[in-house]
């Protein structure tokens, strides 16, 4: 979690971006155990104090770096979930989601996070509390809209449904021969269709 600052010179968002990028690169290359705040500062070209002023631990920093990558253009806002039909939200995110999940960098990131869940539970705890849980709440709201529309069963267990969708994508990208962007787009459409969130256009 990013720390707050009091009075003084405003923070440079470009510095934040540079630090987050460095943290993500090191995490993918070396894992949690091979990444330190000092190494992140060196990779980012900033002083160590600059990093510590923004994040108190490397777990907080890595978790935010991962979330910024995963959430880019993919996570709907609460207003979108309230005002847009589930099909429209999915349609708007499909292409970006396929491009991201088909990338080698995303595959490496998923593998690192899976390993860290056991070897460094602190990282997963931070990521779960501050990033995954808010996104799951949005997913629940989206599925409830779909229940009202009649595309998701009224008695569906929404937590299980979310786990099934997330697990399907995770399993697919970790296979020895993962799909390319076109293949992942088709796969995501199939996943969302099974969940009741996507209807293919009429011929």
> In this predicted model, what pLDDT tens digit does every residue of 134-180 receive, in sequence order?
889 989 999 999 999 999 999 999 999 999 999 999 999 999 999 99
For residue 108 the two structure tokens come to 């490496």
16 in helix, strand or coil? helix
Pair 32, 67: CB distance under 8 Å? no
pTM of the full structure: 0.81
Which of 137, 127, 187, 125 shows the shortest CA–CA distance to 162?
Answer: 137
* pLDDT for the residue 134: 86
**CATH 1.10.357.10 is the classification of domain 72-195:** yes
Q: Which CATH superfamily is domain 13-61 in?
A: Homeodomain-like (1.10.10.60)
Element housing 149 (H / E): helix 133-149
Q: Of 10-14, 41-45, 106-110, 114-118, which one has max mean pLDDT?
A: 41-45
Report the distance separating Cα 106 and Cα 7, nearest Å: 38
> What does the domain layout of the chain look like in residue ranges?
13-61, 72-195
């Amino acid at each position: 979690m990013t720390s707050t600052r009091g009075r003084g010179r405003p923070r440079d968002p470009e510095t934040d971006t540079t630090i987050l990028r460095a943290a993500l690169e090191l995490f993918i290359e070396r894992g949690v155990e091979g990444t330190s705040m000092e190494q992140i500062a060196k990779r980012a070209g900033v002083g160590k104090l600059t990093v510590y002023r923004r994040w108190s631990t490397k777990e907080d920093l890595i978790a935010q770096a991962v979330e910024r990558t995963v959430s880019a253009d993919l996570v709907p806002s609460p207003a979108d979930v309230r005002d847009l039909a589930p099909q429209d939200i999915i349609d708007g995110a499909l292409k970006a989601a396929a491009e991201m999940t088909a990338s080698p960098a995303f595959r490496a990131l998923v593998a690192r996070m899976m390993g860290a869940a056991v070897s460094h539970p602190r990282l997963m705890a931070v990521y779960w509390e501050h990033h995954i849980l808010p996104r799951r709440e949005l997913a629940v709201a989206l599925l409830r809209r779909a229940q009202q529309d009649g595309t998701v069963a009224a008695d569906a267990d929404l937590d299980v449904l979310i786990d099934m969708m997330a697990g399907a994508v995770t399993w697919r990208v970790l296979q020895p021969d993962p799909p390319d962007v076109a293949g992942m787009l088709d796969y995501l459409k199939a996943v969302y269709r099974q969940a009741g969130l996507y209807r293919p256009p009429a011929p």
